[in-house]
Amino acid sequence: MVYYTENSPDRVIGREKAAAAVDVILDRFGDRKKVMILPPDITRAHSGAGMITELLWEKLGDRLTDILPALGTHIPMTPDEIRKMYGRTPAGLFREHRWRTDIEELGRVPSSFISGVTGGRLTFDYPVQVNRLLASGDHDLIISVGQVVPHEVTGMANYNKNVFVGCGGSEAINKSHFIGAVHGIENILGTTDNPVRAVLNKASEIAAPRLPLIYILTVVAPDSEGRLGIRGLFTGDDIECFRQAAALSRELNFTTLPQRLKKVVVWLDPEEFKSTWLGNKSIYRTRMAIADEGELIVLAPGVRTFGEDPAIDRLIRKYGYRTTPEILAFTEANRDLQENLSAAAHLIHGSPENRFRVTYAAGHLTRQEVESVGYSFGEIDYLSEKYNPRNLQTGYHRTADGEEFYFISNPATGLWKSADKGTEGNSR
């Protein structure tokens, strides 16, 4: 059921309103003695989840025993990142999710179910995996906090993705990503009902007896000056909470443009984006807006590697961002991709499919490295001067010499598409 909603498309929900939402939850669950929080990591710094986590700590006190950031395959947070995102919340409460080792399996979604939701294209089963502390830590309340926004793997981010992917194991992460890739990124972006969601919802049913879960979901959008703030806050223990948040996200985070764009420039904040694994949101969230033979320029001064995980990084360097048929053929023929399906999915998602050009201006990758994975190399200093992100807000612009382009200040905040390239099934 849904416990609290605050739908504010025209104004920001500040700390006071967020505290009121937290109070509603804790009044209902005031008898719980051992509480765990699952927030996002620093790559979702703008989500509002850091403030909400701090509020929960202030009100729970000693009853809050563990905070497990839903890292997925991301690099663990540094002490400085923890302080920056979660404020006064004690660093000693934070635990590290090790997705390859610290895993407990709660059951499996049968292959017949996978085959049914994928139209017979995939026939493996799916493990319901979570961090061992989450499954066996004897918590009587687990609060999952995070932002609902368009997402390339699950259609819309968060809800039970935070649990079974963000706190999941390698097999679950690999298979969920591959299901999304096989379904097609342009078929899945912005949808609430799709094969990946169907599998995660089934996982929730299987895990429910072991996981006393409730959700605090935010919807974040920029104001007229580009400043991000919480516009929606939804709390509950089932999918209705997620559906309400997703509906608001579609209203606030989707930008429909009258025609496809010949040139798009995306800025990646160096504090948030240090790999193409994360930085390729610049491709995912814009591909439905870019014209055939168009160009995407990615200004990425902080990008220094491809994968967040060394093994994934090696696979990206080995195979590159090739077309879907090429990656599927590589996967069928090579055990290293078969054992790392999330990497195969990422390579598919990050490919422009020979339809448009990606110019990657990575601050810490060489020309050889960038070109070896299938992108064009861009000089970060030259392009940052030509398309100065400090002087631009998201929208249409023109250079001094008359070149038209569309600028996006943070691709993680939305989804851009042209009127003739919509996402199907958004209201399902």
| CATH number, domain containing residue 81 | 3.40.50.11440
**Would residue 294 count as lying in a domain?**
yes
Q: Are 244 and 386 found together in one domain?
A: no
- Residue 427 belongs to a domain: no
What is the domain extent for residue 176?
Answer: 2-254
Q: Is residue 179 situated within a structural domain?
A: yes
Same domain for 291 and 142? no
Whether residues 337 and 295 share a domain: the answer is: yes
Distance (Å) of CA 237 to CA 143, 185, 213, 385? 9, 28, 6, 48
Domain boundary pick from 190, 221, 254: 254
In this prediction, residue 322 carries a pLDDT of 96
Looking at 234, 254, 274, the residue that finishes a domain is: 254
- Identify any residues that bridge with 36 across adjacent strands, giving them in sequence order: 66, 142
Q: How far is CA 256 from CA 28, 236, 259, 425, in A?
A: 40, 30, 9, 15
Q: What is the pLDDT of residues 83-93, one digit of tens each?
A: 999 999 999 99
One domain, residues 80 and 215 = yes
Q: What are phi and psi of 383, to 5 degrees?
A: -70, -35
Distance CA 252, CA 193 (A): 19
Measured over the CA atoms of residue 9, residue 15, residue 20 and residue 26, the dihedral's sign is positive
Rounded-to-10 torsion of CA 117, 122, 124, 126: -40
**CA-to-CA distance for 131 and 100, rounded, in angstroms?**
10
- For residue 421, the model assigns a pLDDT of 54
| 322: CATH | 3.90.226.30
Q: Is residue 425 part of a domain?
A: no
Cβ-based neighbour number of residue 162 at 10 Å: 25
* Radius of gyration from C-alpha coordinates of the chain: 21
Do 8 and 86 belong together in one domain? yes
Q: Exposure string (b/e) for 6-29, b if CB count within 10 Å is 16 or more? A: bebeeeebeeeebeebbeebbeeb
Number of separate domains in the chain: 2
The SS3 call for residue 223 is coil
Q: Look at strands 376-377 and 357-362 and give their pairing.
A: parallel
In angstroms, rounded to a whole number, what is the distance separating the alpha carbons of residues 253 and 415? 6
Same domain, 39 and 107: yes
Please say which residue of 254, 277, 312 terminates a domain: 254
Note whether 292 and 386 are same-domain residues. Answer: yes
Same domain for 211 and 306? no
Q: Give the integer Cα–Cα distance in Å for 338 and 352.
A: 22
Residue 367 domain-assigned (yes or no): yes
Compute how many other C-beta atoms are within 10 angstroms of the C-beta atom of residue 161.
Answer: 26
Cα 52 to Cα 71: distance, rounded to the nearest angstrom: 18
238 in the same domain as 284: no
- 202 close to 164: Cβ distance less than 8 angstroms: no
160 shares its domain with 278: no
Show the low-confidence residues of the chain (pLDDT under 70): 421-428
Number of Cβ atoms within 10 Å of the Cβ of 51: 20
Here the tokens at position 368 are 């050889």
Same domain, 113 and 126: yes
pLDDT of residue 423: 42
* 426 located within any domain: no
Report the alpha-carbon distance of residue 115 to residue 132 in Å, rounded.
28
119: in domain: yes
Question: What residues have CB less than 8 Å from 214, skipping those under 6 apart?
Answer: 3, 25, 29, 141, 142, 143, 144, 235, 236, 237
Residue 348 lies in a domain: yes
pLDDT score of 362: 98
Pairwise CA distance, residues 331 & 319, whole Å = 10
Per-residue pLDDT reduced to its tens digit, 2-27: 999 998 888 899 999 899 889 998 99
Instruction: Based on the fold, state whether residues 183 and 145 are members of the same structural domain.
Output: yes
